[in-house]
Structure 1
C-alpha cells in the first residue's frame, strides 16, 4: 500500500512540474507580448511629430490603460497559480511524512527534460530524411529485415526464410524448383517446424536415408503439402501387397512421386501390369520394385511399347514377358530408340528373336556403342553371334564389357586400334 501511494505521489509531482513549467511559460509569453505592445505605444505617444491633436493622445492613453490592465490580470493569474501549487506541494510533503515514504523532496524529482524525453524521441522520428546525421548514429540505426516483395529467384529469400535455408542444408536444388510454376511461392509459405519437419521425420521412420531427402524434395516438393495420414495409408497399402519395408524405402527414394498417388491409383497400376503381361504377383512386385516409376508414369507409353514389341518387332507374348522381367526399362524406353536398335540387331547383325530374348540387355544398350563394336568386329572378321558356330561372341558381353576389355578379350586388338577405327566410321 505504501509503495503504491509513493509511486502515485511521484507521478503527481512529475505531472505538476510539467504543468507548472507550461503554465509559467504561457503567462510569461503573454506578459512579454503586453510589455512589447506597451513599449510600442509609449514610443508612438512620445513621437508627437508624427501624430497631432487631442484625439491621438486620447487613443494612446486608452490603449496604454488596456495594456496595463492586461498585464495586471496576467500577473494576478500567475500568482494565484503559484499559490495553488505551493499548497499542493505542502499537502504532498505531509502525505510523505504520514506514510513514511522515502520519496525524494520536490527539488529532487524527475527533471522535466527526462519526463519529456518520449516526446523528444517522437519529434526526432519526424525529422526530415534529408537531415545529415553523424556516422555513429548512422551505424546504430537498425533496419527491420523484410522479405523482398518480388523476385525471379529464390536466392534472394534464402537468408530471410528459415524454410529455404534448412532446405538448402538438406541438399535441395532451389534453382531447379524455381523454374517450376508456383513452386517457389509455395515453399515460401511453408513453415519448417509445422510443415517440413513432420514429413522428413515420416520419411526417416519408413527407412529413407537422410542423404536422400534433398533428392526427393528437389524432384517432388509437393510431398511437403501431403497430409501425414495419406502418406501413411499409401505406405501401409504397399506393405499389404507384401513389399518389404526396405523395398518401400528404396522405391520412395528412387521414385519421389510414389507417395503422392492415392491407394486406388497404386492398386490400378499394379493390376494393370499383372493382367497386361500375364505375370504372377511375385514377378509383378519384382519389376515394380526394380523400376518404381512404373507406378507413377502414364500408362499410355507403356501400352504403346507393348504394341511395338508385338506388332512391329515381332516378339511373341511369352518373349515379351521374359524381356520385361529381365529389363523393365523396355516398358518406358523411347519407341524410336527401341525400333532403331532392334533393326540394327536383327537386320544388320542378323541376330534372331530368340537370341535377343535370351539377352534382352542389348535392347537397353546405346545404339552408337552397338554399331561401333559390330563394325570393328566385322572389320576384323570376328562378328560371329551364333552360339552353334565356332568363335561365338555372346551378346551379353558384347554390350556390357568396357572398351579396353572388349578389345583384348573379344576383338584380340588394342584399344588404340579401336580408337583409330572409330575415326574412320
Structure 2
C-alpha cells in the first residue's frame, strides 16, 4: 500500500495543470502555496510564461516575477511559480482559472492609417479633389476673393476692391484681416456713430485703414467730438464727408479746432458750424489754409472781419487754390469794377469757375446790362451771376434766349 501512495505522489509532482481529486466523502480544492517548480526548458513554454508574467504585471503594478529576497533569475535557471496546496471543503467545488484566459491577445481598436506611398487605383485618383493654390503674388484682389471670407463680405457691403488694390499696401493689409476679429466690431461701431448702412461700402473704400485702428481709440475720438457739443447728426455728417476723421488722435483734433477758432476769431458755435459744413478742414493739411488766409489779407486786401464773414459763408474758400483766388478776384475787382464790400457780401462767386463768370459778364456787357451797382437800375448781383443756370440767367438777367448766349460764346 505504501508503494502505491509513493507512486501517486510522484505522479502529482510532475503534473503541469492540476484537477480535482474526489474522496469517498469529501471534495478536494486546489489552492496555491509555495514549493512547486517548473523548469524553463521543460514543462510550460518559456514564452508562454513570459507573456503570463507581463499580463500580471499590467494588471498588478506591484507584481514581480521573483521574490523580493531572491536574486534575479538567469537564463537556464528555474522559473518559480506558486505551488498548489490542497485543502478540504465540505461539499464545495471551485474551478481554477484557465491558463488560456490569462493569455488572451490584446485588441487594438485604432485602425492604422493608409500609407502615403500606397498605390491608388485610377478611379480613386479621379475622386480626389484638390483645391487650387493661392497665387504667391498677384496684381489684383480678384484672385483671393473666393478664398477670403473678409474680402467676400467686404464686396457684399459694396467695397470697391478695384480702387483699393491700386493703393500702396492696402491689398496686403486686407488679406491679413480676419472678419470676426478685425472687421465686424468696427462695422458695428460705424453704424452706432451714424454712418448709414448703405454708405459703409463707400466709407471703407475711401478709408480702409479704419479697420486697423484700435476700437478704444475710435471711441475716444467720437467721445471727444461729443464733449465739444457736436450732436449725433453733425458727427454723422462729418464722418460721411471726411472718413479719415476717425484716424486723427484726440490731440490733433483739438489742435485743429483751436487753430480755426483763434485764427479766424470765431466763437465755439461758429467753429463747430464751420467744420461741420466742411469736415475736410480737420483732416486736410493746414498749409493751404494758412496760405489762403495770407493771400486774402496781403494780396487781395481784405480785412479780418471780411475774411471771417466770407469764410463762414463759403468754407471752401480756405481750401481753394491760390491761383484760382487771385485770378478770379483780379477779374472781379479790376475788370468788372466790383469793390471789396460787394465781393465780401457775395462770397459765393469764389465757388464759380473763372470762364463761367467771364462769359456771362462779356454777354451782359455786349447787351448793355453789366450793371453791378446795387443803387443803379438793372442791377445784377454777383450771386445770381455765378449761381443761376444758363437758361434762367438768359431769361432773368440778360433778357435774351439761350440760343443767343450760345451763339455769342462761339464768337469769343
TM-score w.r.t. the length of structure 2 is 0.71
Map of 1:341 onto structure 2: 328
Verify the 8 A CA contact 1:305 1:332 in the aligned structure 2: yes
Distance in 1 separating the partners of 2:112 and 2:188: 55
How far the C-alpha of 1:250 sits from its partner, in A, is 1.1
Distance in 2 separating the partners of 1:169 and 1:415: 46
- The answer to whether the aligner puts 1:415 opposite 2:402 as a matched pair is yes
Map of 2:342 onto structure 1: 355
Map of 1:118 onto structure 2: 114
Distance in 2 separating the partners of 1:144 and 1:316: 71
Verify the 8 A CA contact 1:145 1:160 in the aligned structure 2: no
Unaligned segments of structure 2, at least 5 residues: 1-99, 105-110
Question: Alignment partner for residue 383 of structure 2, among 383, 393, 396?
Answer: 396
Verify the 8 A CA contact 1:146 1:160 in the aligned structure 2: no
How far the C-alpha of 1:116 sits from its partner, in A, is 9.9
Question: Alignment partner for residue 325 of structure 1, among 303, 312, 318?
Answer: 312
Runs of 4+ residues over 6 Å off in structure 1: none
Q: What pairs with 1:5-404 in structure 2 (closer than 5 Å)?
A: 118-119=114-115, 122-124=117-119, 138=126, 140-404=127-391
How far the C-alpha of 1:144 sits from its partner, in A, is 2.1
Q: 1:424 to 1:141 in 2, by over 3 A?
A: farther
Q: 1:372 to 1:144 in 2, by over 3 A?
A: same
Distance in 2 separating the partners of 1:117 and 1:396: 85
Verify the 8 A CA contact 1:233 1:263 in the aligned structure 2: yes
Unaligned segments of structure 1, at least 5 residues: 1-93, 99-114, 128-132
Distance in 1 separating the partners of 2:173 and 2:324: 38
Distance in 1 separating the partners of 2:168 and 2:119: 46
Distance in 2 separating the partners of 1:181 and 1:392: 54
Let me know the Cα RMSD of the aligned residues: 2.3
Distance in 1 separating the partners of 2:113 and 2:211: 51
Verify the 8 A CA contact 1:385 1:394 in the aligned structure 2: yes
Map of 1:56 onto structure 2: none
Q: 1:370 to 1:262 in 2, by over 3 A?
A: same
How far the C-alpha of 1:124 sits from its partner, in A, is 2.4
Verify the 8 A CA contact 1:330 1:363 in the aligned structure 2: yes
Q: Which has the higher helix share?
A: 1
Give the aligned length: 308
How far the C-alpha of 1:247 sits from its partner, in A, is 0.6
Map of 2:76 onto structure 1: none
Larger radius of gyration: 2
Distance in 2 separating the partners of 1:237 and 1:117: 62
Distance in 2 separating the partners of 1:164 and 1:421: 54
How far the C-alpha of 1:239 sits from its partner, in A, is 0.5
Partner secondary structure for residue 407 of structure 2: helix
Distance in 2 separating the partners of 1:349 and 1:198: 57
